[in-house]
């Protein structure tokens, strides 16, 4: 999948679930539950040992979901997630070495930015779509709006402190293509296999997105 197609999927989905998973055996059911609720992008963060296996399971068994690797911070991880079948990659920050590895791997990438300096580095590398992280701690919608002044070519996926209560504040900004968050994939629901709850949360998130962008 090329970068334009991946970004189009993110925009269409609207809300990107940020998944921290402890048991790879639950990954496929989790992805199916999200898809049932209208969320067809799944970002599996590399924060737990089970992440690579979980990512691979989703990429292999849930074709309706875009399998995204999150928290990729080293070139070595780029190779791992490509081998696992990741279709796109998200990072919490910007790194020239990770940028180079992803170009060689041919994978779409959303680097993380939080400051004007981060944006300058991303733009210099030709990266104009980024994850704004940590969104709330970095100043929220006012900060994002301010960054868009000197960087009108950039678009963003705010993540970090985003939820149903403030999702609309971000989506009101034209430079925001989607938002990300973990609220629709709570750890206790994943651990207990409460897939109905996950589907309900996904549906609520999708409806909230469509309210502002439908």
Tell me the three state secondary structure of residue 44: strand
How high is the pLDDT of residue 164? 96
Active site residue 43: yes
Q: From 162, 122, 135, select the one nearest 17 (Cα to Cα).
A: 162
Confidence of residue 4 (pLDDT cuts 50, 70, 90): very high
The share of the chain scoring above pLDDT 90, in percent, equals 99
Active site residue 11: no
Cα–Cα distance between 154 and 130 in angstroms, integer? 7
Is residue 31 scored above 80 in pLDDT?
A: yes
How high is the pLDDT of residue 214? 72
The share of the chain scoring above pLDDT 70, in percent, equals 100
Catalytic residue among 3, 22, 104, 131: 131
Tell me the three state secondary structure of residue 88: strand
How high is the pLDDT of residue 64? 98
The mean pLDDT of the chain is: 97
Enumerate domains of the chain plus CATH numbers. Answer: 3-213 (3.20.20.70)
Is residue 180 scored above 90 in pLDDT?
A: yes
Confidence of residue 213 (pLDDT cuts 50, 70, 90): confident
Residue with tokens 């993110």: 10
How high is the pLDDT of residue 16? 98
Distances from the Cα of 199 to the Cαs of 37, 60, 65, 164, in angstroms? 5, 21, 14, 15
Catalytic residue among 43, 53, 96, 104: 43
Tally Cβ neighbours within 10 Å of residue 21: 25
> What would the pLDDT profile of 49-102 be if each residue is shown by its tens digit?
999 999 999 999 999 999 999 999 999 999 999 999 999 999 999 999 999 999
Cα–Cα distance between 16 and 13 in angstroms, integer? 7
Tell me the three state secondary structure of residue 68: strand
């Amino acid at each position: 999948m090329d970068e334009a197609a991946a970004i189009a999927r993110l925009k269409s989905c609207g809300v990107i679930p940020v998944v921290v998973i402890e048991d790879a055996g639950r990954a496929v059911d989790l992805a199916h539950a999200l898809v049932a609720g209208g969320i067809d992008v799944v970002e599996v963060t590399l924060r737990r040992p089970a992440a690579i296996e979980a990512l691979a399971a989703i990429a292999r068994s849930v074709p309706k979901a875009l399998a995204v690797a999150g928290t990729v911070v080293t070139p070595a991880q780029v190779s791992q997630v490509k081998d696992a079948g990741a279709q796109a990659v998200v990072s919490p920050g910007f790194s020239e070495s990770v940028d180079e590895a992803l170009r060689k791997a041919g994978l779409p990438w959303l680097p993380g930015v939080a400051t004007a300096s981060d944006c300058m580095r991303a733009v210099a590398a030709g990266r104009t779509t980024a994850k704004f992280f940590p969104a709330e701690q970095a100043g929220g919608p006012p900060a994002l709006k301010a960054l868009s002044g000197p960087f009108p070519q950039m678009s963003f996926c705010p993540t970090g402190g985003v939820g149903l209560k403030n999702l609309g504040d971000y989506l009101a900004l034209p430079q925001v293509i989607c938002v990300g968050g973990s609220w629709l994939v709570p750890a206790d629901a994943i651990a207990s296999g409460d897939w109905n709850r996950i589907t309900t949360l996904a549906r609520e998130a999708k409806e909230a997105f469509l309210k502002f962008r439908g």
